Every structure is written in C-alpha cells, then in structure tokens.
Amino acid sequence: MQYVDEFRDPDKARALVRQIEALLARIPAARDRPLQIMEFCGGHTHTIFRYGIEQMLPERIEMVHGPGCPVCVLPMGRVDDCIAIAARPGVIFTTFGDAMRVPGSKKSLLQAKADGADVRMVYSPLDALELARRHPDREVVFFALGFETTMPSTALTVQQAEREGLRNFSLFCNHITTVPTIKAILDSPDMQIDGFLAPGHVSMVVGEAPFAFVARDYRRPIVITGFEPLDILQSLWMLIRQMAEGRCEVENQYARVVPKGGNPPGLQAIADVFELREFFEWRGLGSIDHSGVRMRERYAAFDAERRFAVPNLRIADPKSCQCGEVLKGTIRPWECKVYGNPCSPQAPLGALMVSSEGACAAYYNAGHRTRRVQLDPRLSARLETAA
Amino acid sequence: MNAPESTPLRRSGTISGDRITLSHGSGGRAMRDLIDDVFVRIFDNPLLAPLEDQARIDLAALAAHGSRLAMTTDSYVITPLFFPGGDIGKLAVAGTVNDLAVSGARPLYLTCGMIIEEGLPIAELRRIAESMQATAQAAGVRIVTGDTKVVPRGGADKLFINTAGIGVIPHGVDIRADRARAGDLVLVNGYIGDHGAAVVDARGELALDSGVASDCQPLAGLIADMLAACPDVHCMRDATRGGVATVLNEFAQASRCAIRLDEDALPVRESVRGVCEILGLDPLHLANEGKIIAVVAPEHADAVLAAMRAHPAGRDSRIIGRVDAAPQGTVLLATHFGGDRVVDMLFGDQLPRIC
C-alpha cells in the first residue's frame, strides 16, 4: 500500500536499530538502570505495541508510556456528567467510539445507552452537527475530547453552528492541553525520564515552539515523532544521537506533516472558541494547572456545561491505584499493586487500563496478565514455510 | 367427503400486496399465503411440502453417513440486509452449514425461523428466500421446516433469521479445539477480514467505496475435500465474529499451546488493509463468513493445502502459522516490521479510535 508500506520497511528498521546500538555505545552507562524514554502520545503507544517495537530495541532503552491517551485520563466524574446529560429527555449524545467504554463511577456510556439514553457514535464533530440539522426538535450534544489535535475540528464545528444559527447543538468540552501536562511530569520529584518523543498530531497544530522549554529548562532532548513504526525508530535514533552528542534540543522527525509554526488557522479557531481553565482534573495524575480548556463566554450558547446543569462531582481515583508512578516511569505497569488483579481492561481501576492505548492495558493485552512478567521479550514466530 | 389423493383440497395460496403486514403473522389465511407463495415455493422439497409441524427424517438414511449427529443453531441479524457479496439469507444458510461442517459433519437439513418487521417489502423477502435456497443447493442441504413471526414496526430491525441444522459426522473424524499439538501447522482458506470490511463499507457511514465484497459462502464442499485428503484434521473452526484472532485464541487455550503467526503469510487484501488503516481496526479481529482455520499435523499439511487450493472456496489457501508448546494459551504474531506481539481475543466490539 503506497504511503504506508514505505514506513514499515523491515530492512530500514534493522538498519536503524543497528545505528541506535552504535550511538548507545558512545553514551557511558552512568547508572545501573536503562535510559528511559517517554512517548507522550497514546497513538505512539499503539504503534509500539502493534509492531512489537519494544522487542526490537536494545535492552538499554526502556519506553515509558505517557498519559497522552485522552480517553484514559478522563476522570470518572466527567464520564458521570456525560451520562447525566445523555439521560436527559430529548438529548442525542454523540461521542467518538472509544469513549463509549470508559467507566464512570457507576457505568459507562455504553451501559447508559443500554439503559435507554440516546448515545450515538460519530466519526467527526461534523456528523454531530448534521444530526442537529436533521433533528431540530432534539438537543444534540457532542462529547468533545482530545488534546490540541482534535481542538480545531471542534472549534470550527462550533463556528459553523453559530453561522447557521443552530440552537440545538452544544459541546461538552473536555479538551486537554499537552504542554502543562508534560511540565507537570517533569516537575514531579520522582521523575526519571531521560528524553521525550513529542506527539506528532498535537505538534501539527501547535508547532515546535511550545516544546522548547523541555530542552531549555529541563535539559531533556525531545523529538516530534510520527506514527508509523519507522517514525518511532528514527525518532529514537535522533534522541539517542542528541544524548551521544551532549545536545538538548527540540527536533522534528515528522517534518512531512508538522510545520515549524504549526497550523495558524487551526490555532486561531482554537483561540476564538476556547480559553484555558485554571486547572483540570486528570485520571491518574490529579489536578494539573491550565491543562484543560473551556468555551469562551461568547459561545456560551453552545456550551453544554452551561446549558445543562451537570453534577460536576469529583470522584477520587482508587487509593490502591499507582497510575501516577507508572506514568512517571518510577514503576513499570506490571509492578503496580493492583495490576491484573483486580485492575484489568475488563474492570479498570486506573486510567492506564481504560483504553487499549493506556500503558497498562497495552501490556495486559500483550500477554502480561499478572504481576509476574510472563513473556520472553525476544520471541520469534517467523515461519520457515512462509513464501 | 374424502378427496382423491391426486386432487388436494387445499390450493397453494398466493400473496397479495407489496409489504408484510401484521396479518401475515396472524396464523390465518394471509400467513398461509405467505408461506405457500414464498417459502414452500422457493424452498421446494418433499420434506417441507406436507407442511406438518415438524420435518420427519428417516433414521436409517442418516445413519448411512456416519455414527454421530451434529446439531447447531445460529441467529442472523445484520444491517444492511443486502451487502456486497451476499445478503442475510445467504448468511443464514452458509453460517449454519459452516458451523456443522467444521466438525467434519456432512450438513443435511436446516430449519428456517423468520422474525419479520411489519412493512418489509415482500419482494425483498422473496429475494432473501431465493438466496437461501441457492446457497442451500450449493451446500447440498435442504430447508425442511420453518416458522414465521411478524412483529410491529420497531419490534425488530427489518428481518431476523434463525437457522438450526443437523448433519452427520463420518467415522474416523475427530475435530476438536483441544487437539492442536506442537509442530502442527495452521491453515486458512483465503483472504481474511473481507466480510467485516464489506459490512462496514456497506453501511455507508464513511463513504469509503472500498470495493470489498463479503466472503459469505458455504464451506461444506471444501471441508469434505480436506477430510478426503486427511481425515485426521486436529482443529477446525470458521472465523466469524471476533475474527481469526478469536478462533486461534480458543485453540491455544483449549489445547494449552502457543500459536505463532507470521504477518507476512497472512492473506489480507489491500482494500481491506486500507479500511483497517483508516478506521484503526485489525484484520485479525474482522469477521469472516467464508473462512475456516484448520490445524493439521505437519506431515499432512501439504496434502490438505493442495486439496484446499483445488476447491473454488480455497484457491487462496495458505499456511499462516504453527503450533508451539509455549507460552501456553497465547497467540503471537511476528510482525512484518520485525517485532513480535501478542494477538488477543477481541473484548466487545472494535471501536474506532479518537485520533
């Protein structure tokens, strides 16, 4: 398949791994633990597991899977709010598919749908807008979530709704921001991360500049990274090269998609519709300053939070949950006290078990069913018979 | 009062109107007309024709095929009713035939229960019944008894079909999920994921126009040829909902073994890969309606593969993996890229990812 297979070439992958090994030899082993590299974005986590990249890497590199899965980090209280809105008579509640299964304190949207709420899966906020046009007698609410990646499309949808004078369309805004969250991770005292893969799609919107502080203020190299498996390997190579050469910079591996300045019209739409909240609650990480956005006063008519009284209760994460430590690389997913039992993808306690992009769920689905590590990391299933 | 045998008292009814109404499920004459004019006419066979409340099957004739009876049932619910490569009727016959055939049984008789939503165009029902009959003929089975219910609008989604089937397992065949042994090879009879991709596309929500057609087909003939080449097939299932990944996990768990797949050996059409790339789906989890996974001892693999490739339903058959002793209960995939990953069972539906 053109534009796909080129980025999954096994020969290029092997060559990159050899080059990474060569660079690693130039970095003195200053301590007894591996180099920890965090991929912030859940999309990267997905790629790493789907292509088995961890098994290909030298043992000195350990991937730490970050909080960049917007579905995982959604606090239970917000899911409860969604369900409260969805259960109102006359409401059509629209959402991206993978948010359907996120557990609230009592149930998920999928269960609320079974209980009779009109919850519908959409592929784009524009699908929700179309529903609003088709059902003028119903209140159509779009569950807006995601990092800066999805903000422009929701912002443009709201602007479109305003232009059309639609009165039955609103957003339940749960958009979150990347940079304050990376900063919160960097500021935590037990942080051990040596370098970062920055999220490619977020960067496509915000550009390179917002990540400069990571290199400048925290002395950690950071590489903006694409989502194909060769993108990940090439970015790791760029990151290790910075370390070998003693540099700390923002580099852009995903230049075929990410312009240095991001997407100015997208940023403009975001600035027009949204403003920063003082703080936002994250499942697993707690409250982080300026880590979410809400709708500006000017668009109050399209703000589901203002239009419907939502319970807005804060539901604390279970005390036994160690998602925060996993996210910071202090412990590995399977070292958490509740990993596998009772916390599993079927009955997640913590954020990282919620979606397949969460670090714990990814390990669990990859066969690490209990706290004991079961898998030989260097398996070979290659068939001699395959032609 | 007794009429001569050659002139039956009751004439075959003819249905009037364009759409199914509640009266077609009333038990009265309208229902009789529907059954006569659609089902009896199309399914035409001597076991159904007497319209008794049950089909009566000669035991001695059954026993000639083998010593064990296989029996199965499945209900078919699909939107849309017609999709590229098939329709709900073809699905309802092929699905139950395949559930019988993967035990090694020769499928013989099916039942047909229909739950029809008021308002279904009769022409569509007729097309579906014709498709059922054509599929039954291709598979060598007969539809010998049935039931019709009509529910008010909203009580069902256009049409639900239940088919049950019986078949007879020949002597010397013992196909079970727990018989995979280290060293065995894993075979599939062609491209995977076609049905799942075709149905996603046919729903039209995404305007993908992938051109993929469902692989919906009865596999009784293919499986009979495989068993003729090697009666001792260890495991066999059709990879329907949950896809190839689910069947392989069932084998690995039941047999307490590992199954190792080679991504390069997996037959996946470019168009299906495309649908999966766009929606973030995994072809190993997509439904198939005409694909079986078979596990056979290595010394028989070539003969079975040759028999499969010689059959129209198995032209693109391939060996896709092998069975290993450990890690028990696990399915592993060597990715084209060079890494390895575990292929898990699907939990719930595959949901498109946010970004």
Statement to judge: residues B195 and B89 lie in one domain: no
Cβ proximity of A149 and A43 under 8 Å: no
Mean pLDDT of A229-236: 98
Q: How far apart are alpha carbons A376 and B332 in whole angstroms?
A: 11
Cβ atoms within 10 Å, residue B136: 27
Statement to judge: residues B260 and B184 lie in one domain: yes
pLDDT tier at A188, thresholds 50, 70, 90: confident
| pLDDT on residue A313 | 83
CATH classification at residue B74: 3.30.1330.10
Nearest to A366 among B322, B342, B348 (CB): B342
ipTM, interface predicted TM-score of the complex: 0.81
Range of the domain at B223: 177-342
Cβ proximity of A321 and A253 under 8 Å: no
| pLDDT on residue A385 | 34
How many Cα atoms are found within 13 Å in the side-chain-facing hemisphere of B342? 24
Q: Where in chain A is the domain with CATH 3.40.50.11750?
A: 5-23+32-65+179-252
Class of the domain covering A5-23+32-65+179-252: alpha beta
Q: Return the percentage of chain A with pLDDT > 90, whole number.
A: 64
| pLDDT on residue A232 | 98
Q: How far apart are alpha carbons A27 and B173 in whole angstroms?
A: 62
Statement to judge: residues B50 and B141 lie in one domain: yes
Indicate whether A124 pLDDT > 50. yes
Verify whether the Cβ–Cβ distance A43 to B355 is below 8 Å: yes
Statement to judge: residues B165 and B182 lie in one domain: no
Q: Which region among A86-90, A328-332, B58-62, B186-190 has the lowest average model confidence (pLDDT)?
A: A328-332
Of B139, B169, B199, the domain-final residue: B169
**CA-based nearest residue in chain B for residue A346:** B347
Q: Where are the beta strands (DSSP E) in chain B?
A: 68-76, 82-83, 86-87, 106-117, 142-151, 159-169, 185-188, 235-238, 258-262, 292-296, 318-324, 330-334, 340-342
Mean pLDDT of A171-195: 91
* Buried b or exposed e, range A5-28, using 16+ CB within 10 angstroms: eebbbbebbeebbebbeebbeeee
Statement to judge: residues B75 and B136 lie in one domain: yes
| Token code pair at residue A314 | 């804060």
Higher-pLDDT residue of A99, A275: A275
Cβ proximity of B187 and B222 under 8 Å: no
Length reported for chain A: 387
φ, ψ for residue B241 (rounded to 5)?
-60, 140
Cβ proximity of A182 and A214 under 8 Å: yes
Measured between CB atoms, does B50 come within 8 Å of chain A?
no
Of B169, B190, B213, the domain-final residue: B169
Cβ-based contacts of B345 with chain A (< 8 Å): none
| Token code pair at residue A233 | 């390997």
Q: Where are the beta strands (DSSP E) in B179-329?
A: 185-188, 235-238, 258-262, 292-296, 318-324
Residue B103 lies in a domain: yes
Mean pLDDT of A114-143: 96
Statement to judge: residues B122 and B184 lie in one domain: no
Statement to judge: residues B144 and B216 lie in one domain: no
Residue-wise pLDDT for A296-318, tens only, equals 999 999 999 999 988 888 888 88
Indicate whether A369 pLDDT > 70. no
Q: How far apart are alpha carbons B331 and A170 in whole angstroms?
A: 45
Residue B5 lies in a domain: no
| pLDDT on residue A67 | 85
Q: How far apart are alpha carbons B47 and B54 in whole angstroms?
A: 9
Q: How far apart are alpha carbons B21 and B42 in whole angstroms?
A: 20
CATH classification at residue B297: 3.90.650.10
Of B169, B191, B213, the domain-final residue: B169
Question: Testing the interface with B: which of A142, A202, A379 to mutate, by most B Cβ within 10 A?
Answer: A379
Q: How far apart are alpha carbons B283 and B286 in whole angstroms?
A: 5
How many Cα atoms are found within 13 Å in the side-chain-facing hemisphere of A38? 27
Q: How far apart are alpha carbons A359 and A369 in whole angstroms?
A: 13
- For chain B, which ranges sit under pLDDT 50? 1-4
Nearest to A339 by CA among A357, A364, A367: A364
Residue-wise pLDDT for B263-305, tens only, equals 999 999 999 999 998 888 899 999 999 999 999 999 999 999 9
Residue-wise pLDDT for A238-269, tens only, equals 999 999 999 999 999 999 999 999 999 999 99
Statement to judge: residues B160 and B198 lie in one domain: no
Cβ neighbors of A177 (< 8 A, separation 6 or more) are A147, A148, A276, A290, A291, A292, A293
Indicate whether A121 pLDDT > 60. yes
Q: Where in chain A is the domain with CATH 3.40.50.11740?
A: 76-178+262-307
Statement to judge: residues B145 and B213 lie in one domain: no
The third-level CATH classification (topology) of the domain covering A76-178+262-307 is: Rossmann fold (3.40.50)
Statement to judge: residues B258 and B182 lie in one domain: yes
Q: How far apart are alpha carbons A297 and B204 in whole angstroms?
A: 38
Cβ atoms within 10 Å, residue A319: 7
Higher-pLDDT residue of A142, A342: A142
Q: How far apart are alpha carbons A350 and A370 in whole angstroms?
A: 16
Cβ-based contacts of A201 with chain B (< 8 Å): 355
Residue B7 lies in a domain: no
| pLDDT on residue A375 | 41
Cβ proximity of B285 and B243 under 8 Å: yes
Indicate whether A348 pLDDT > 90. no
| pLDDT on residue A386 | 33
Q: Where are the beta strands (DSSP E) in B96-244?
A: 106-117, 142-151, 159-169, 185-188, 235-238
Total domains in chain B come to: 2
DSSP A355: S
Statement to judge: residues B331 and B190 lie in one domain: yes
Cβ-based contacts of B336 with chain A (< 8 Å): 8, 10
Residue B316 lies in a domain: yes
Q: In what order do the strands lie in the sheet with A61-68?
A: A61-68, A35-41, A195-199, A222-225, A250-252
Cβ-based contacts of A101 with chain B (< 8 Å): 348, 351
pLDDT tier at A177, thresholds 50, 70, 90: very high
Statement to judge: residues B163 and B182 lie in one domain: no
| pLDDT on residue A361 | 85
Q: How far is A361 from chain B (nearest CA, A)?
A: 12
